[in-house]
């Protein structure tokens, strides 16, 4: 039964011949997720959580081949989010948010893996990750009545301590397997609802088997993946921060607290809002806006919607750069402007949906 399911999914699956290489990011994400799960299992062998920073140094310098496994896991997260954002941009560009089931499961996975990545960032327990954990977990205090109690439960003390790391370590190990289940759900829903076509052609009219054409296309992408993996082994910490090599010090904070690069756009939005409550709300909406897109029903022309998506992409890139800058003028002002542009896309889509409904109906 299992072999029959694999055969129908990976060999005999009817697929549209119009799918380009942009549709291969899903298979790349599955491959990187498998790499992360495998390297994570090996890292768990030597990471105890009682002395987190020393455990990481032991893996790097004492365990045979430990630096390779750790660098693959560390940079695999960056590669994973590169493919996530490429996959997301493709979905926005071709209107994939109109496939409600596929889109909603995908957005839930983005939220889940962002949380998993943040937990892994804290497990190093370096100077930067410690203070990032203090700042981000403190945001939970905006929840009325229960906020401070939840933060105290997360910390296990009056500050981020070793017990906090152990809690996040357990969640960081378990939640990726929940993500793997969501990936299978995503595939099942995708096979049920189908995929969007940039050409506007109905996929039922002209289909071919998944093997061998799409196997070959996935193989080409795998070659690019191997090139990325090799470059990350040559320059393993090119995407990291120098403060990650310093042990945490509760008495002194870094000059500029920044998360990993794939969270910078959300961090810039958080800093752009002076109110703490509204800042947390906009921080959640930086990804939650994708849920709202799922309810957009529009027959707008493709070239109109694609231009809006390009503006959305431009604002996201600018916010990523601004999030890495110090919280001072003119960067904060620019962050406010780009935040307005970032969230304006949803209003453009709703307004265009209303206009086209008035014209055609």
**How many residues comprise the chain?**
361
- Considering the candidates 138, 191, 197, 344, report the single residue annotated as catalytic: 191
- Considering the candidates 163, 203, 217, 306, report the single residue annotated as catalytic: 217
Catalytic site includes residue 17 = no
> Tokens 């191997």 appear where?
226
Catalytic site includes residue 241 = no
Catalytic site includes residue 217 = yes
Interatomic CA distance for residues 247 and 245, integer angstroms: 7
CA distances from 124 to 35, 153, 325 (A): 19, 21, 23
Scored b (16 or more CB within 10 A) or e, 215-252 reads: eebbeebeeebeebbeebeeebeeebbebbeeebeeee
- Considering the candidates 55, 78, 90, 218, report the single residue annotated as catalytic: 218
Q: Hey, what long-range contacts does 234-242 have (CB within 8 A, 24 or more apart)?
A: 236/67, 236/71, 236/74, 236/75, 237/74, 239/75, 239/78, 240/74, 241/128
Catalytic site includes residue 307 = no
Catalytic site includes residue 90 = no
- Considering the candidates 55, 241, 243, 260, report the single residue annotated as catalytic: 260
- Considering the candidates 27, 78, 126, 195, report the single residue annotated as catalytic: 195
Q: Give residue 298's Cα distance to chain centre.
A: 27
Name the residues annotated as catalytic: 191, 195, 217-218, 260
């Amino acid at each position: 039964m299992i072999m029959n399911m694999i055969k129908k999914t990976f060999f005999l699956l009817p697929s549209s011949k119009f799918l380009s290489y942009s549709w291969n990011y899903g298979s790349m994400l599955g491959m990187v997720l498998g790499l992360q799960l495998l390297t994570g299992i090996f890292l768990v062998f030597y990471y105890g959580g009682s002395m987190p920073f020393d455990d990481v140094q032991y893996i790097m310098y004492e365990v045979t081949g430990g630096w390779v496994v750790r660098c693959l896991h560390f940079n695999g997260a960056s590669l994973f989010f590169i493919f996530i954002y490429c996959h997301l941009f493709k979905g926005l560009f071709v209107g994939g948010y109109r496939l409600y089931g596929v889109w909603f499961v995908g957005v839930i996975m983005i939220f889940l893996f962002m949380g998993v990545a943040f937990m892994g960032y804290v497990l190093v327990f370096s100077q930067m990750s410690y203070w990032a954990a203090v700042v981000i977990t403190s945001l939970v205090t905006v929840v009325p009545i229960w906020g401070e109690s939840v933060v105290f439960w997360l910390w296990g003390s009056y500050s981020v301590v070793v017990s906090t790391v152990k809690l996040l370590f357990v969640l960081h190990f378990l939640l990726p397997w929940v993500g793997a289940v969501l990936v299978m759900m995503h595939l099942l829903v995708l096979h049920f609802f189908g995929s969007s076509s940039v050409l506007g052609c109905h996929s039922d009219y002209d289909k071919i088997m998944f093997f061998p054409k799409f196997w070959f296309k996935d193989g080409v992408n795998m070659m690019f993946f191997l090139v990325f993996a090799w470059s990350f082994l040559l320059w393993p910490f090119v995407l990291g921060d120098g403060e990650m090599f310093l042990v945490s010090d509760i008495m002194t904070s870094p000059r500029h607290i920044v998360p990993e690069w794939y969270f910078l756009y959300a961090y810039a939005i958080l800093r752009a809002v002076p109110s703490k409550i509204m800042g947390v709300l906009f921080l959640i909406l930086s990804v939650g806006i994708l849920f709202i897109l799922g309810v957009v029903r529009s027959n707008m022309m493709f070239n109109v919607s694609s231009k809006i998506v390009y503006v959305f992409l431009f604002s996201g890139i600018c916010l990523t750069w601004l999030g890495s800058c110090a919280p001072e003028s003119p960067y904060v002002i620019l962050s406010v402007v780009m935040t307005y542009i970032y969230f304006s896309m949803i209003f453009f889509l709703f307004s265009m949906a209303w206009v086209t409904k008035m014209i055609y109906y």
